[in-house]
Amino acid sequence: MFTNARYFIKTAFGFFILGLCSGLYMNGARTFGWSMPFTMVQAHTHVLLMGGVFMMILGVAVWFFPRAKKDDNAYNPTVIRLGYWVFTLSTIIRFVVEILQGIYPQSLANHFGFWSSVFQVIASVILVYSIWGRIRPVGSQIRENRGEIF
């Protein structure tokens, strides 16, 4: 397994655990009356979907998709690693900021939340663009042309 794929997949597991813990806290807050910021649901959902699911999809895509063609200028493992770091840090910042916005609604956290979202979107676009050329048929189109149905 490639190093980049391992980073994505292990980080996705970390975000899943963070999402599970935040969900457990929300359940405890409802059950036992603990204090909970109103933005906790958004933080929980964001860390599960973007940090967990999207990271897992990217990790599996980097791992399983066929090797990039030699003339594919979009695929660059260094750019993918940089996109990974930007996306990971932005997701962590966004999670923390979402919680802080519920506690301190008029704070500067709103600005950090917005800019971390911008960096998440930029990193997402770069990562998808980087692996786009690897999403292609390798051998299956030959079997489909012979009439095999999958």
pTM higher than 0.75 for the full model? yes
Q: Could you tell me the mean pLDDT of each successive run of 10 residues in the chain, 150 residues long?
A: 89 97 97 94 96 94 80 85 96 94 85 92 94 76 74
Instruction: Output the pLDDT for position 71.
Output: 79
Greatest Cα pair distance, the chain, in angstroms, is 64
Entry field: residues in the chain = 150
Quote the CA–CA distance of 38 and 98 in Å, as a whole number: 9
Percent of residues, the chain, with pLDDT higher than 90: 63
| Cβ count near 60 (within 10 Å) | 14
Quote the CA–CA distance of 37 and 6 in Å, as a whole number: 34
Contact 124, 55 (CB under 8 A): no
The structure tokens listed for 71 are 């003339």
